[in-house]
Amino acid sequence: MLLFLVQPLISKAILPWFGGAPTVWTTAMLFFQALLLAGYIYAHLVQRWLEPRGQVVLHVVAATAALLVLPIVASERWRPDEASHPTVHILLLLGATVGWPYFVLAGTSPLIQKWFSYAYPGRSPYRLYALSNLGSLAALLSYPLVVERLFDLPGQSLLWSWCFVGYAVLCGASLLCLWYWDPPDHSPAEGRSTAKLAPLEPESSVALWRRRVLWVLLPAVGSLMLLATTNHVCQDVAVVPLLWVVPLALYLLSFIVCFDHPRWYVRKVFPPFAAFSILLTASGELFRKKLSFVELLYFYFPMLFLVCMVCHGELARLRPHPRRLTEYYLLIAAGGALGGVLVSIVAPAVFNNYTEWPVGLVVSLMLAAVATFQEYGHYGTRVLRWTLRGALAAVFTVGVLAVVVFQLPTDRPVLRMRSFYGVISVLYGLDGPIEDPIKVMLLKHGWITHGIQPVDEDKRHWPTAYYGEETGMGWAIRHLQQHGPVRLGAVGLGTGTLAAYARPGDYVRFYEINPQVLQIAENTDYFTYLNDCRQRTHCDVVLGDARLSFQRELQQQSPQAFDVLVLDAFSGDAIPVHLLTREAFAIYLKHIKQSGIIAVHISNRYVDLEPVVLRLADQWGLYAGKFENHSDPKKLVYSSTWILLTPSQSTAAAMPEKNRRNPADFRRAPLWTDHYSNLLAVLRWPD
């Protein structure tokens, strides 16, 4: 339970330090899988080289040493000063914070099961593996539903630390019992129960190595699909612990079912259903723009569960004699870590898109095909068997082709780049009214459009997309420009569309965490907003997380005194929660003038951020207005929703009366802080 409770806890704690990127979770999963493998190696070597009493002493010392690093907390000294090498930084941070306690916990389960086989010869210890995964499942489900709601991050850390103390006490008591039970005259790594175990069945070295390879590859496929599916969901919905723990819970549930008893994995049922679900999910991608957040999960999560059932069901069928138990678990952990390495390290280095997702679908489909062949391929006469095999092969070949076709990108990007922060693409195409389309360049992050600019010289100065003059942000800038030059700040660069509003004498300052976005925005072969602005007036771009940059500027005694500060990091993909907390707004207010405006872009298909923003307005005594506009294809303007916040009564009085909002009406909404936030409460659920 402690192994899996700490994963969303510590990942959520460090998420703000790395821009709220979904890759924080997959990188953390890579760390935990690697440390789980290290714990299993430790358990395997300990039971192989030491007698049970020696194992007792060593493990008690290790658990006692882990108590010295409690409570687990991510120290501020680990907060990154810049955005370079975030993957390495996260791995080092986690190692220093929770590495040793997690390592000790990881080695406990296989050791306990080995000692169980000593004490109860002839009884299978594998149900304890299912029980262990049941504890992990309970931890994952309790985190978003109970722990995250009732405790802030320091409280969660303290709760986990006290539970670890309880674990150490119970573990010490259990080991003490084993110390007095086991006689001193047995041989290392075997124990007195060894003689009572049934003899190992003879097996050729080739067959044994084949089984060992499968012990690695089957969990690797399950791990790959877990991480790829989680990444796929979080990229286009939100980086919310619920969307971390539900896939992981389904992954663990498949372990529980498959290892509790052989009868639960029905080979005649699960592989064919897994294949059908994969095809259904792949085809569902074609309709994703028409589906709600929950309807999308109806495709992803059942498919993930069925694939994991096939992987872990086949793995359970290959479980060995208990004498090879720790080796078996060691190779399972190695397979899980291999899947993590493929998704977190290999895929970003090899692919410029999230290609691991369709690759995982194809591999899973082929695995389901092999399992189906083995189950149904021996029925009837020889002719009938080969006919059946041919028919199944044809079906699965068509299925693989269908998955590949469904997952092929429908666009043809001019440029596509992938980094820790996601996949960004530049596309050339047509937009606007059907009868008179306009040639444009688009910038996309995943599925979300983050900027659009007309190619024609006479139109490239248009403020487009979510930045049209009729939007709330457009109203704010035009209102303040009536009184002279303005200073504009923006969190999120995109294509630099905000710079279209800059007049001679104005000042524009962007904050962008992804260096690749800046590289694209400054390339005049694609977009010219920044270049055109710099020819008229002064325009800067600050690389790094916006909030950390704001804090650094305050420490350097250089508040920016913005007239308008635009927060445009919430319109798609992941929601960077740390930019919408009480502490974040305390920093923003120091960077705007008394008459200034904070413009928050909250257009989002999946998350309703209006209650969160207005609750923050009430907290800081700000006046608020909500501006919604319809799309205007002729001007390349999209429909959008903006909330304008200002400390100035005169600025608020200038807002149209129909747009004004009373923040006091939202006092019952949750106040997000650096230690407490709950995206689950603001997800848009279907009617």
* CATH number of the CATH domain containing 368: 1.20.1250
In angstroms, the CA 303 to CA 281 distance is: 7
Q: Is the pLDDT of residue 82 over 50?
A: yes
Q: List, for residues 167-187, the tens digit of each pLDDT value.
A: 888 878 877 777 676 544 444
Clarify whether residues 164 and 222 are in a common domain. no
pTM equals: 0.73
Answer whether residue 438 shows pLDDT above 80.
Answer: yes
Residue 477: predicted pLDDT: 94
Domain membership of residue 426 (yes or no) is: no
Question: What residue type is assigned to position 316 of the chain?
Answer: A
Q: What is the pLDDT of residues 622-644, one digit of tens each?
A: 999 999 999 998 999 999 999 99
pLDDT of residue 476: 94
Given this model, what pLDDT does residue 183 score? 47
pLDDT reading at 565 higher than 60: yes
Say what percent of the chain tops pLDDT 70.
84
The total domain count for the chain is: 3
β-sheet bridge partners, residue 231: none
In what side-by-side order are the strands of the sheet with 592-601?
538-543, 507-512, 487-491, 562-567, 592-601, 640-646, 623-629, 660-661
Q: Is the pLDDT of residue 79 over 90?
A: no
Please say if the pLDDT value at position 199 is more than 60. no
Domain boundary among 374, 408, 442: 408
Question: In whole angstroms, what is the distance from residue 526 CA to residue 143 CA?
Answer: 44
Q: Is 406 helix (H, G, I), strand (E, B) or coil?
A: helix
Single-letter amino acid, residue 611: P
What average pLDDT does the segment 650-678 reach? Answer: 88
Angle at 657 between CA 654 and CA 658, to 5 degrees: 135
pLDDT band at 413 (very low <50, low <70, confident <90, very high): confident
388 and 309 part of one domain: yes
Same structural domain, 381 and 510: no
Tell me, what's the pLDDT at 655? 93
Comparing CA positions, the residue from 326, 300, 376, 280 lying closest to residue 117 is 326
Give the mean pLDDT of 288-303: 71
In a domain? residue 196: no
pLDDT at 406 over 80: no
Kindly tell me if the per-residue pLDDT of 541 is higher than 70: yes
Tell me, rounded to whole angstroms, the distance of Cα 357 from its chain centroid.
14
- Residue predicted with more confidence, 124 or 458: 458
Q: Kindly report which listed range (258-267, 440-449, 489-498, 567-576) carries the lowest average pLDDT score.
A: 567-576
At residue 187, the pLDDT reads: 41
CA distance linking residue 32 with residue 21, whole number of Å: 18
Task: Please tell me whether residues 368 and 490 are part of one structural domain.
Answer: no
Same domain, 78 and 2: yes
- Position 196 pLDDT exceeds 70: no
In a domain, 617, yes or no: yes
pLDDT on residue 623: 95
Does residue 54 belong to any structural domain of this protein? yes
pLDDT at 322 over 80: no
pLDDT confidence tier of residue 73, bands split at 50, 70 and 90 = confident
Residues 228 and 367 in one domain: yes
CB 336 within 8 A of CB 218: no
Q: Is the peptide bond before 144 cis (omega within 30 degrees of 0)?
A: no
448 is a domain residue: no
Q: What is the pLDDT of residue 677?
A: 77
C-alpha–C-alpha distance, residues 245 and 39, integer Å: 22
* Of 680 and 651, more confident: 651
> Within this chain, do residues 187 and 212 fall inside the same structural domain, yes or no?
no
Asked whether 512 and 681 are in contact (CB, 8 A), the reply is no
Count CB-CB contacts under 10 A for residue 588: 23
Cα-Cα-Cα-Cα dihedral sign, residues 281, 282, 288, 290: negative
- Residue at 287 is within a domain: yes
Residue 471 CA to residue 566 CA, distance in Å, equals 12
| Residue 122 pLDDT | 72
Binned at pLDDT 50, 70 and 90, residue 542 comes out as very high
Is residue 437 situated within a structural domain? no
pLDDT tens string 380-403: 566 666 676 676 677 667 666 666
Together in a domain, 335 and 283: yes
pLDDT at residue number 352: 77
- Interval 645-661 mean pLDDT: 93
What confidence score (pLDDT) does residue 372 get? 80
The mean predicted confidence, pLDDT, of the chain is 82
Clarify whether residues 169 and 234 are in a common domain.
Answer: no
For β-strands 487-491 and 562-567, DSSP reports them as parallel
What is the pLDDT at residue 222? 92
- Which pLDDT value is given to residue 531? 93
| Mean pLDDT in residue range 315-324 | 80
575, pLDDT greater than 70? no
- The highest-confidence range among 12-26, 132-146, 236-250, by mean pLDDT, is 132-146
Name the nearest CA neighbour of 453 among 426, 473, 477. 426
| CA 266 centroid distance within chain | 31
- How much is the pLDDT for 495? 92
Decide: 193 and 261 in contact? Cβ < 8 Å. no
Domain ends where: 157, 191, 225?
191
Q: Nearest CA to 289 among 433, 399, 410, 415?
A: 410
Last residue of a domain, one of 408, 439, 467: 408
Task: Look at residue 627 and give its three-state secondary structure.
Answer: strand
Count of C-beta atoms within a 10 Å radius of residue 169: 11
The domain spanning residue 644 has which CATH number? Answer: 3.40.50.150
**Are 183 and 211 contained in the same domain?**
no
- Quick check: is 661 in a domain? yes
Lowest mean pLDDT among 75-84, 171-180, 235-244: 235-244
What does the block give as tokens for 505? 């004498």
By residue range, what is the domain housing residue 207?
203-408
What's the rounded mean pLDDT across residues 409-427?
79
**281 and 161 part of one domain:** no
Q: What is the pLDDT of residues 602-627, one digit of tens each?
A: 987 777 889 999 999 999 999 999 99
Q: With a cut of 70, say whether residue 443 has pLDDT above it.
A: yes
- Write down the pLDDT at residue 407: 53
User: What was the pLDDT predicted at 192?
Assistant: 39
Taking residues 75-89, report their average pLDDT.
70
Exposure string of 655-664, with b = 16+ CB inside 10 Å and e = fewer, is: beeebebebe
Same domain, 56 and 177: yes
